[in-house]
Amino acid sequence: MIRRQWIRPVLAAAATVVLTVGLAGPGTPVQAQERAGADPPAMVEPELLTQLAQADEASFWLRLDEPADLAGVESVTDWSARGTAVYERLTDAAARTQAGLRQLLSARGAAFQPYWIVNAIRVTGDRALVDELARQPEVAEILTDRTYHIPELEPADSAPAAVAGVEWGVDRIGAPQVWQDLGVRGEGVVVGVIDSGASYTHEALVGQYRGNLGDGEFDHNYHWHDPSQVCGRPSLAPCDTNGHGTHVTGTIVGGDGGGNQIGVAPGAKWIAAKGCETTSCSDAALLSAGQFMLAPTDLAGENPRPDLRPHIVNNSWGGGAGSDPWYQGIVRAWLAAGIFPQFANGNTDGTAGCGSASNPGNLPGSYAAGAFDIDNQIAPFSNRGPSAWGGEIIKPNVAAPGVAIRSAMLGAPDAYQIASGTSMASPHVAGTVALMWSAAPDLARDVDLTRSLLDLTAIDTEDLSCGGTATDNNVWGQGRLDARAAAEAALDPVPAGTLAGKVVDSVSGEPVPDALITITGAVRRSTHTGADGGYAVTLPAGGYQVSVLANGYPSERGVRATVTADRPATVHFALDPIQQWEARYDGPGAAADEAEAIAVSPDGGRVFATGASTGASTGEDYATVAYDPATGQQLWAARYDGGGGGDDQATSVVVSGDRVIVTGRSDGAGPTFDYATVAYDAATGVELWVARHDGPASDPRPAFAALNVPPKVAVEDDRVFVTGFDYTELTGEDFGTVAYDAATGAELWQARYAGTAVPEANDIGYDVAVAAGTVYVTGTSRGADGRDHWEFATVAYDAATGEQRWAARHSSSTRSHSSWAVTATDSQVFVTGQSSQPGAIEFATVAYDAVTGDRQWESRHRGPLSGGTPRDVVVIEDGEHGDRVFVTGSSLTSLGNSDAATIAYDAATGDELWQARYAGPRGAGDTGRALAVVGGEDGGLAGATLVVTGESWGQGTHFDYFTVGYDATTGARQWDARFDQPVTGRAEATGVAVAGTAADYQVFVTGLLRPEAFSTPSGDFATVAYGVQPLVCDRTVTRVRVAPVVVNDGVTCLEDAQLLGGVTVRPGAGLVSTDSVVLGGVTADGASVVELERTQVVGGVRVRGTTGRVSVFSSEVIGSVQLLDNVTGQVPPTVAANSVRGSLKCSGNVPPPSDLGLPNSVTGEVSGQCAPR
């Protein structure tokens, strides 16, 4: 059962608090940083600005943020009319929204090419033009050119012997049985190929080319497209510049009528678009190729004919693993036009890792193929899921033959070549779809049902190494492709129906676009909601579980739906927003204010953010701000200036009793930076003491050299511990750790760790933790065998005396190791950092015995590519289930792109328990920065939530904050939220803190909000609060009960229950019912909460005087519904998407009820506040 989650009623509507502060005290509002009366400028990709700093001009893309409305076109049954409808909607929307931009570009004399399939314009121009275009309200973002790749063909030594002239892969999937038993070979179906081109004169391809008129005559209009003019200017006939496309096309349709049966559907026809100039594919060529496939043109690129579009498009190319949406619009348009979008899942040199599925094959709407060999073993290079678009999205969708595949070769007309890759697997699937649609023409255009039949008939193959189930996993997808079974199923398909619904905000009623809908049952489907919050999927009849995940909302999982052929199934979701407030701090100087850390008082009554803030005349000062966690109201602000005339930068904060303690680096009276630790009264912000620490010698290097390593602070009982590094003339940088009395600031002891004691050995402490009277410091230290060898170094000190108890060094190679973070329990110490191995950069996490320093285990994590940097580590102690260690950081997915990777380990063994990857809208620059834990039952693992925050490249923005809540036991994503500002800015999250328990908790994130991504030093502290309050049931009914139910106190939950008697809710008590049946009606007077969701009630519903949440949603009521005199705070009562066989009366409710834009079906009178307006 899915328990809906909501935020506290008083905070239901997210608030924004914008403050400016002088030297201390409460602030006053400041104006939003955008031009009055004007739209904010569009986001400009930083790489483009870099290019324009080095050259006079560059090519770039204008992406408009208004897609065409394609809703309803799937109901058009005529092939030609449906294609025309999609084409006209796309071109009309582009013409309308691009008109002003086209006029401006023409006036500036700029070279540009508009596109309609994704509503974008490619422009060549200078920086001044970019700046001008960024100010145009139609432009959502300005992006650089991108390049994608097809793998070079790598000939194998030999291929398995053909079976009666049929290649092994074609035979393995059962295509010959389809030819023989069903009498179809793909006739009547056209397959489009976006690749490097094709050799149309090859003996195995010439007969299947749609441009072949017979008798040696050819017409290449509408059958060939070369947007980059690689094959000639003009390009008048198909060509192939590397052979990849020829090989792929051969596997789809190839056959010479004799001993070379290389294709799955030799009766089908093919057309081609050269989306890949060589082994690289420009985004301009790929978009133009995608456009051509929807509306083929003549050789001049004119006179488009949507009626001549292919039925299937094969795409054996791709980029790295990521969630860049650049091709999503094309897939969306193909689907609307009834085109099957077939993709390769991508290859990895060596062995593919989990989460390596390539974009755009990893899109929810794409159908992607992995590769297996003749022994039915998955190919090591075959990329694995889950998709970067969400851990719920299984990729590949299916696996097909892809090792040692013999097909047509570039060169002589009778040349053949053997090659391997998911590029070779994908055309097996494309050919299978051609057989299915040839056998059952009525199935053509029904992509959803075709996917379902492919899934249902695939041969289940279990491999749970990357998650999933025995029948649907991230190695094999639904299993091994079976063309014979799929074609037979197409002739006698299972009954199918439609599952549809909407996702809306439960407070505002606004639609929630781009929410991920995951459907599991006989088949698995994933889709995203449209701009109207709606979704619709065709599925085989049967039972399903429907889940939703949307940015800024808790996930809702496992809603049951039954799909039948004669009646559409409907599942709506009303999601509760979790952002509670946003607060900003703008210091007195006209430059950046950068928050670095955040903490919460033990009682949850104060939130403290600290960092560096530019003063009016003092350079950067420490700035520490206290907020009310309920409202975001600033309670106090305090600033500290070291007096040296330079910069003072606070980097860490802890709370000790009634004191807030901040540390950082400070420019004092001497020539170098000191540690400066400041204590404030938590209630008032009054400064209590300041302690400064200067190392034993002056660092002779420039001061900026010390700025890269921020001091960190930890606290236990009445002692405060600060670490970083000291400089000595004898040993260079040492770990420098200082203990202070938390009450007075008096120094208790100081200790240094000099590592190998080699002069200038660079021993730098990065983090400090304390547990059970021992202080642990970790960092990086030069090895004894040379300056290029770094090692993890971890040192334990007696918290009372500073006496060193042990020091442990770790390095498993001669390459560099840098330890970034440490956490500890009474018995174990865990450090994490970056380890550089030959050819790889990995997460490395090490566990030590807390008493002896003996190493217990080391675990390494390498993402889809060999690159990654961990940033933080936390531990959950659980005596019953075992402790868990969690690490987060950045993990490379392709060159220059990264996901935020989070890994869970068994604290006893180091075994990896789960990993989760967060990829933002752009699939680039996602980095986990900080972790926090919301304890579960008794503070342990059960029910615990792991919170990760960091930065992520947004859609239409630069970097945003991202924050994700994961189930600490399973890694399942519970909720996620993004935060940015509505200008061309950069939001960098640096810290996270939590308050509360699993039953009711808040998450606080802080960082820097900069109005311009790179060009200005200004910016504010920005702190955001999220609230999650899962429903807690005092008692739960899940069975049949033959008696009335009276709820006298607490909250009673009905979960899949059947009550043969009514329900009465007494004052102060609560009722929450989901997926249940109540015979006898529901009556509530003065209740604390009443929610009826997907519940059938016979006998009517009467809810009066409720003081908390009231919701009657997506339910069936036989009888009247009355909502009377309910006072529910800022969240209005919900009465939406219901079927009421009786009257609906609403009166005296404050605020008035809302139907969230999902009208009720009512047979009787509708009166009062619920009456139509």
The pLDDT of residue 1012: 58
Nearest to 357 by CA among 369, 372, 346: 346
Pinpoint the alpha helices (H) of 357-459.
422-439, 447-457
Write the DSSP symbol of residue 854: -
Residue written as token pair 């200067």? 694
CATH 3.30.70 domain range(s) in the chain: 43-145
Structure-block tokens of residue 169:
């892969």
| Alpha carbon distance 384, 353 (integer Å) | 6
The pLDDT of residue 730: 52
* Helix/strand/coil for 1104: strand
Superfamily of domain 497-575: Carboxypeptidase-like, regulatory domain (2.60.40.1120)
Mean of pLDDT values over 401-417: 93
pLDDT higher than 50, residue 732: yes
Mean pLDDT of all residues belonging to the chain: 86
The pLDDT of residue 627: 97
Mean of pLDDT values over 522-548: 89
Q: Between the CA of residue 5 and those of 448, 476, 570, 608, 1091, what are the distances in Å?
A: 32, 35, 21, 27, 12
* Helix/strand/coil for 441: helix
| Alpha carbon distance 439, 442 (integer Å) | 9
The pLDDT of residue 854: 95
Beta bridge partners of 167: none
| Peptide bond before residue 1151 is cis, with ω within 30 degrees of 0 | yes
pLDDT higher than 70, residue 20: no
| Alpha carbon distance 771, 829 (integer Å) | 9
588: left (phi over 0), alpha (psi -120 to 50) or beta: alpha
The contacts of residue 204 (CB under 8 Å, 6+ apart) are 250, 254, 255, 256, 260, 262, 263, 407, 408
The pLDDT of residue 476: 97
- For 50-85, the pLDDT digits (tens) are 899 999 999 999 999 788 889 889 889 899 999 999
Q: How many helices (H) and strands (E) does the chain have?
A: 11, 81
- For 991-1028, the pLDDT digits (tens) are 999 998 887 899 999 998 876 544 455 678 899 999 98
Q: Give the number of C-alpha atoms closer than 13 A to the C-alpha of residue 1092, restricted to the C-beta side.
A: 29
Q: How far is CA 666 from the centre of its chain?
A: 38
The pLDDT of residue 159: 66
Helices 283-294, 328-336: inter-axial angle, 10-degree rounding? 10
The pLDDT of residue 840: 66
H or E segment at 1016? Answer: none
705-715 CB burial, b ≥16 within 10 A, e <16: ebeebbbbbbb
CATH 3.40.50.200 domain range(s) in the chain: 149-298+306-345+355-387+396-493
Backbone angles phi, psi at 339, to 5 degrees: -90, 135
1011-1035 CB burial, b ≥16 within 10 A, e <16: bbbeeeebbbbbbbbbbbbbbebee
How many other C-beta atoms lie within 10 A of the C-beta of residue 465? 12
The pLDDT of residue 834: 80
The pLDDT of residue 874: 92
* Helix/strand/coil for 328: helix
- For 900-938, the pLDDT digits (tens) are 889 999 999 999 999 888 887 776 678 899 999 998 877
Nearest to 412 by CA among 663, 204, 562: 204
| Alpha carbon distance 963, 991 (integer Å) | 10
How many other C-beta atoms lie within 10 A of the C-beta of residue 597? 27
Nearest to 1034 by CA among 983, 1060, 982, 1071: 1071
- For 560-618, the pLDDT digits (tens) are 899 998 888 999 999 989 999 999 998 887 677 889 999 999 888 999 999 988 887 77
The pLDDT of residue 22: 32
Confidence of residue 35 (pLDDT cuts 50, 70, 90): very low
DSSP codes joined into one string, 228-266: T-TT-SS--S--BSSSHHHHHHHHHH---SSS-B--S-T
| Peptide bond before residue 360 is cis, with ω within 30 degrees of 0 | yes
The contacts of residue 811 (CB under 8 Å, 6+ apart) are 783, 789, 790, 791, 792, 817
Q: How far is CA 1047 from the centre of its chain?
A: 42
Write the DSSP symbol of residue 75: G
* Helix/strand/coil for 103: helix
| Alpha carbon distance 343, 361 (integer Å) | 5
Mean of pLDDT values over 702-729: 64
Helices 127-134, 79-108: inter-axial angle, 10-degree rounding? 120
Mean of pLDDT values over 226-246: 94
Backbone angles phi, psi at 1100, to 5 degrees: 95, 165
| Alpha carbon distance 754, 731 (integer Å) | 6
| Alpha carbon distance 1007, 1010 (integer Å) | 10
Beta bridge partners of 832: 821, 845
Backbone angles phi, psi at 94, to 5 degrees: -65, -45
- For 1074-1131, the pLDDT digits (tens) are 999 999 999 999 999 999 999 999 999 999 999 999 999 999 999 999 999 999 988 8
Query: Is CATH 3.30.70 what the domain over 43-145 is classified as, yes or no?
Result: yes
- For 1022-1074, the pLDDT digits (tens) are 999 999 877 778 899 998 988 899 999 999 999 999 999 999 999 999 999 99
The pLDDT of residue 702: 28
Q: What is the side-by-side strand order in the sheet with 1045-1047?
A: 1045-1047, 1063-1065, 1082-1085, 1101-1104, 1121-1124, 1144-1147, 1166-1168
Question: Is the Cβ–Cβ distance between 680 and 687 less than 8 Å?
Answer: yes
The pLDDT of residue 34: 30
Strands 1077-1079 and 1096-1098: parallel
CATH 2.60.40.1120 domain range(s) in the chain: 497-575
The pLDDT of residue 756: 66
| Alpha carbon distance 921, 327 (integer Å) | 12
455: left (phi over 0), alpha (psi -120 to 50) or beta: alpha
The contacts of residue 840 (CB under 8 Å, 6+ apart) are 862, 866, 867
Superfamily of domain 149-298+306-345+355-387+396-493: Peptidase S8/S53 domain (3.40.50.200)
pLDDT higher than 80, residue 805: yes
Beta bridge partners of 810: 792
Nearest to 324 by CA among 922, 933, 936: 922
- For 293-347, the pLDDT digits (tens) are 999 999 999 999 999 999 999 999 998 887 888 899 999 999 999 999 999 999 9
The pLDDT of residue 10: 29
3-state secondary structure 778-824: EEEEECCCCCCCEEEEEEEEECCCCCEEEEEEECCCCCCEEEEEEEE
Q: Largest alpha-carbon pair distance within the chain?
A: 99
Mean of pLDDT values over 94-100: 95
The pLDDT of residue 1107: 92
The contacts of residue 801 (CB under 8 Å, 6+ apart) are 749
DSSP codes joined into one string, 270-308: EEEEE--SSSEEEHHHHHHHHHHHHS---TTS-S--GGG
Ranges 24-33, 545-554, 748-757: which has the least confidence: 24-33
Confidence of residue 38 (pLDDT cuts 50, 70, 90): very low
Backbone angles phi, psi at 115, to 5 degrees: -125, 145
Mean of pLDDT values over 717-729: 78
Give me the percent of the chain exceeding a pLDDT of 90. Answer: 58
The pLDDT of residue 617: 76
The pLDDT of residue 227: 96
| Alpha carbon distance 402, 159 (integer Å) | 11
Question: Is the Cβ–Cβ distance between 550 and 532 less than 8 Å?
Answer: no
Confidence of residue 170 (pLDDT cuts 50, 70, 90): very high
Q: For residues 128 and 1000, which has the higher predicted lDDT (pLDDT)?
A: 128
